[in-house]
Amino acid sequence: MDIKIPNLGDGIDSAIVISILVKQGDTVSADQTLIELETDKAVAPVPSPAAGTITSLTIKEGDTVSNGTLIGQLDSGGNTEVKESVREEAVQPVNVPTPKPVQPVAVSSQALTMNTAVSTSISIQKLAYRIGLDLRYISGTGNSGRITETDVSNHINYLQSLMQNPVTQEEPTAKKEIPLPDFSKWGVVDVEKCSPLRKKIAEKMVTAWQSVPHVTQQLDVDITNLMAMRKQYNPKYQKKGVKLTLTVFAIKAVQRALEKFPQFNASYDPNKNELIKKKYYHMGI
C-alpha cells in the first residue's frame, strides 16, 4: 500500500519533513503517526493509513513534500483491497447541475445614483423590503420615473453579474528585490535555510512593523548593586581619563542577551529565504 501525504489544508502547497518516527521494518497501527511536517502554519502529523509493516521509506528529514507525495510503502497483510473498496464506496461522485450563468444586463449609470424619491407599487415595495433591496438605487423606466417589475429584475441581474464577474484590478507592480549587504565583511556569520513556518513569521513581522503602531515599554529596575560596583571601579578608570558610565553596563547586558538569543542578532533575506545569524555584536549609541 502506498503511503502518501494527505491534504495539507487550504492555501498550503508544501511542507518540510522535520521528524521521521518510524523506520523500515517497523510494525505500526492504523492512524499511528509516521512523520511530522512543518507548514507555514503549524506542525502536523502524518498518520498511517492502516495497520501493517513499513516496507520502505522514500523521504528523509529536511525534504520538502506536497499533497499526494509518495513517502513510502506499507504491507497491510492483504487488507489493501478491502480498504480501497471501502474508500471507493464511501466517496461517490454526485452529478450537480451547472447553474445557469447570469448574463450581465446593461444598466445606465443613473442606476447607481441614489434617488431621493421612489415611486413604485405597494407589491414591489413589499418585495424590496423582504429581500433587502434598496429601491433608491434603481432608476424607474415607467411613467414619471415609476419603478416597474422589469426595472427590479434588471437591477438584480446587474448585481448578480457584478458578483460573478467582478471588476479585476490591475496587479500591483512587483517589488524590486533589494539585496542585503555582505555581513561577513564585519565578522563571522552562519547562514541557514528557513522553514516555511519561519518564513511566514518573518513576513508577518515585516507586516506588523509596517502597519502596527510602535510602542516603548519601560520598567523599573533595582541597580543598587550595579551603582556600588560602578562607584568601586570608577576611580581606576578616571585615572586613565575614562569615565565608567551606566551606558557601558547597558551595552554589556544587551550583548549578553543577544549572545543567549542569537535569532535577535540576525537578518532575514527574503530573496533567498535565509536567516543570517551574526557572531559579532555591533551597537550604536
Q: Both 123 and 206 in a single domain?
A: no
The mean pLDDT of the chain is 80
pLDDT in the model for residue 179: 83
Look at residues 25, 28, 35 and name the one whose alpha carbon lies nearest to residue 62.
35
The H helix count followed by the E strand count for the chain is: 6, 11
Nearest to 178 by CA among 104, 72, 271: 271
Q: Which residue has the higher pLDDT, 34 or 115?
A: 34
Q: Can you give the CATH number for the domain in which 247 is found? A: 3.30.559.10
63 pairs with which residues across the strands?
A: none
| Residues 76 and 136 grouped into a single domain | no
Q: Is residue 75, in this structure, part of any structural domain at all?
A: yes
A 10 A CB-CB count for 285 gives 5
Measured CA to CA, the distance from residue 22 to residue 18 in angstroms comes to 13
Q: Judge if 213 and 258 occupy the same domain.
A: yes
Whole-number Å distance between alpha carbons of 117 and 154: 20
What average pLDDT score do residues 92-119 get? Answer: 53
Nearest to 140 by CA among 107, 103, 105, 104: 107
Same domain, 204 and 159: no
Q: How far is CA 241 from the centre of its chain?
A: 55
In a domain, residue 284? The reply is: no
Q: Each residue of 62-87: b (16+ CB within 10 Å) or e?
A: eeebeeebebbbbebeeebeeeeeee
Asked if 194 and 271 sit in the same domain, the reply is yes
- Residue 176 forms part of a structural domain: no
Neighbouring-strand partners of residue 72: 3, 57
Domain identity same for 26 and 75: yes
**Which structural domain, as residue segments, surrounds residue 113?**
109-164
CB-based burial, 7-22: b 16+ in 10 Å, e otherwise: ebeeebeebbbeebeb
211 and 146 in a common domain: no
**pLDDT tens, residue by residue, 138-178:** 888 888 788 888 888 888 888 878 777 765 666 666 666 77
Pair (150, 200) in one structural domain? no
68: region left, alpha or beta (phi > 0 left; psi from -120 to 50 alpha): left
Q: What gap in Å lies between CA 54 and CA 83, rounded to an integer?
A: 17
DSSP run (H or E) holding 182 = none
Q: Is 126 inside a domain boundary?
A: yes
Show the DSSP H helices in 111-223 as ranges.
Answer: 122-131, 149-164, 196-211
Query: For 56, which DSSP code?
Result: E
pTM, two decimal places = 0.38
Q: Are residues 144 and 190 in the same domain?
A: no
Q: Are residues 210 and 272 in the same domain?
A: yes
**Residue 34 resides in a domain:** yes
Distance CA(102)–CA(127), nearest Å, equals: 21
Band (pLDDT 50/70/90 cuts) for residue 26 is very high
The strand pairing partners of 274, in sequence order, are 193, 269
In a domain, 212, yes or no: yes
Same domain? 216 vs 150: no
Residue 93 contacts residue 18 (beta carbons within 8 Å): no
State whether 73 and 8 are in the same domain.
yes
What crossing angle do the helices spanning 122-131 and 149-164 adopt, rounded to 10°?
20
Residue 86 within a domain? no
Instruction: Say how many domains are in the chain.
Output: 3
Of the chain, the percentage scoring pLDDT greater than 70 comes to 81
Task: Report the CATH number that the domain containing residue 59 is assigned in CATH.
Answer: 2.40.50.100
* Per-residue pLDDT at 109: 43
For residue 242, being part of any structural domain is answered with yes
pLDDT digits (tens, 9 = 90+) for 53-70: 999 999 998 888 988 899
User: What percentage of the chain exceeds 90 in pLDDT?
Assistant: 22
The predicted pLDDT at position 219 comes to: 85
Separation between Cα atoms, residue 174 and residue 249, nearest integer Å: 45
